[in-house]
Amino acid sequence: MSESPDARSLVSASSQLNLMEIDAIDDKEFDIPQVDTPPTLESILNEPEDEDEPFILEDTCFLNTENIDTHSCETSSLASSDSGDRTHLKRKKKAVEMNVTVHGSVLRHSILKGISAQMASAADKVDAGLPTAITVSSVIAVGTSHGLALVFDQNQALRLCLGTTAMGAEYGAVSALSINHDCTRLLCGFAKGQITMWDLANGKLLRTITDAHPPGTAILHVKFTDHPALAVCNDSGGSVFELSFRRVMGMRTCDSRCLFSGSKGEVCCVEPLHAGSELKDHPITQYSLLAMASLTKILVIGLKPSLKVWMTFPYGKTDPASVPQLAWQFVSAQKAVNPILAFCRGDHVHFLLVKKDESGTIHVIKQRQLHLNCDVISLSWINSRTLVVVDSVEKLHVVDRPSQEELDMVDLAEVQLVYNSSHFKSLATGGNVSQALALVGEKACYQSVCSYGGQVVYLGTKSVHIMTLRNWRERVDHLLKQEKFVEALALSWSFHEGTAKAVLGLFGEPAKRKGVVADKMVEILFQYVDRSLKKCPEQGKIQVMEQHFQDMVPVMLDYCLLLQRTDLLFNQIYGRLVENSVAKGVFLESLEPYILSERIGCLTAPVMRDLLAYFQDNGMMESVEGCLVHMDITNLDIQQVVQMCWDNQLYDAMIYVFNSGMNDYLTPMEKLFQVIGPPLREGKPLTDVEVVMGNKLLVYISCCLAGRAYPLGDIPEDLVPLVKNQVFEFLIRLHSVESCQEEEVYPFIRTLLHFDTREFLNVLALTFEDFKNDKQALEYQQRIVDILLKVMVENSDFTPSQVGCLFTFLARQLAKPDNTLFVNRKLFDQVLDFLCSSDDDSRHTERQQVLLELLQVGGVVQFDEGRLLSLAEKAEFYQICEFMYEKNHLYDRIIDCYLKDPLRKEEIFNYIHNILSMPGYSPEEKHSVWDKTLQHIQELVSMDPSKSAEMVSVHFVDEVQPITTTLQEDYLVFQFLKNLLDPREGHPSQSLVKLGPDMHEQLVGLLCRFSPQEVTAFLKTSQDYRLEETIQITKQHQLHEATAFLLEKKGDIQGAFQVLLKVRAAHQKQHGQITMYRNIMCYSVSIQRIKPRRMIDR
130-to-116, 120, 145, 175 alpha-carbon distances in Å = 11, 8, 5, 12
* pLDDT tops 70 at residue 651: yes
DSSP result, 524-541: HHHHHHHHHHHSS-SSS-
Q: Which residue has the higher pLDDT, 35 or 236?
A: 236
pLDDT in tens, 742-787: 788 889 999 999 999 889 988 888 888 776 666 777 788 888 888 8
Reported as type and span, the H/E element at residue 244 is strand 240-248
Predicted confidence at residue 1074, as pLDDT, reads 52
Least confident of 32-46, 321-335, 429-443, 881-895: 32-46
Contact at 8 Å (CB) between 214 and 169?
A: no
Predicted confidence at residue 808, as pLDDT, reads 79
* pLDDT tops 90 at residue 697: yes
Contact at 8 Å (CB) between 381 and 330?
A: no
Whether omega before 678 lies within 30 degrees of 0, making that bond cis, reads no
Predicted confidence at residue 682, as pLDDT, reads 85
Residue 927 binned pLDDT confidence (cut-offs 50, 70, 90):
very high
* pLDDT tops 70 at residue 8: no
Ramachandran angles phi, psi of 635, nearest 5°: -95, 20
* CA count, 13 A, side-chain hemisphere, 50: 0
* pLDDT tops 50 at residue 576: yes
Residue 143 binned pLDDT confidence (cut-offs 50, 70, 90):
very high
3-state secondary structure 163-208: CCHHHHHHHCCEEEEEECCCCCEEEEEECCCCEEEEECCCCEEEEE
Least confident of 127-136, 394-403, 422-431: 422-431
Residue 477 binned pLDDT confidence (cut-offs 50, 70, 90):
very high
Average pLDDT of the chain, as a whole number? 82
Ramachandran angles phi, psi of 141, nearest 5°: -115, 135
The CA distance from 1069 to 556, in Å, is 109
Of the spans 286-295, 635-644, 854-863, which averages the highest pLDDT? 286-295
* pLDDT tops 70 at residue 912: yes
- Across residues 37-47, what is the average pLDDT? 42
- Report the candidate in 903, 141, 70 with the shortest Cα–Cα distance to residue 503: 70
- Across residues 89-109, what is the average pLDDT? 65
- Selected from 3.90.180.10, 2.60.40.3080, 3.30.70.141, 2.130.10.10, the CATH number assigned to the domain covering 13-80+104-469 reads 2.130.10.10
* pLDDT tops 50 at residue 48: no
Residue 840 binned pLDDT confidence (cut-offs 50, 70, 90):
low
- Model pTM score: 0.65
Residue 986 binned pLDDT confidence (cut-offs 50, 70, 90):
low
* Tally: H helices and E strands in the chain: 39, 29
The CA distance from 1003 to 1009, in Å, is 10
CA 1002 to chain centre: 73
Residue 98 binned pLDDT confidence (cut-offs 50, 70, 90):
low
* pLDDT tops 50 at residue 105: yes
* pLDDT tops 60 at residue 310: yes
Residue 496 binned pLDDT confidence (cut-offs 50, 70, 90):
very high
Contact at 8 Å (CB) between 402 and 65?
A: yes
Ramachandran angles phi, psi of 75, nearest 5°: -145, 155
Least confident of 52-56, 709-713, 925-929, 1002-1006: 52-56
In b/e form, how buried is each residue of 251-284, taking b as 16+ CB within 10 angstroms? eeebeeeebbbbebbbbbbbbbbbbbeebeebeb
- Across residues 156-167, what is the average pLDDT? 93
- Number of other residues whose CB lies within 10 A of the CB of residue 733: 14
- Vertex 208 angle, CA 205 and 209, to 5°: 150
* pLDDT tops 80 at residue 4: no
The CA distance from 656 to 662, in Å, is 10
Predicted confidence at residue 58, as pLDDT, reads 37
pLDDT in tens, 226-258: 998 999 999 999 999 999 999 887 788 899 999
Q: Which residue has the higher pLDDT, 70 or 598?
A: 598
Residue 1073 binned pLDDT confidence (cut-offs 50, 70, 90):
low
Predicted confidence at residue 621, as pLDDT, reads 85
Torsion, CA 214, CA 215, CA 220, CA 222, rounded to 10: 70
Residue 43 binned pLDDT confidence (cut-offs 50, 70, 90):
very low
* pLDDT tops 70 at residue 161: yes
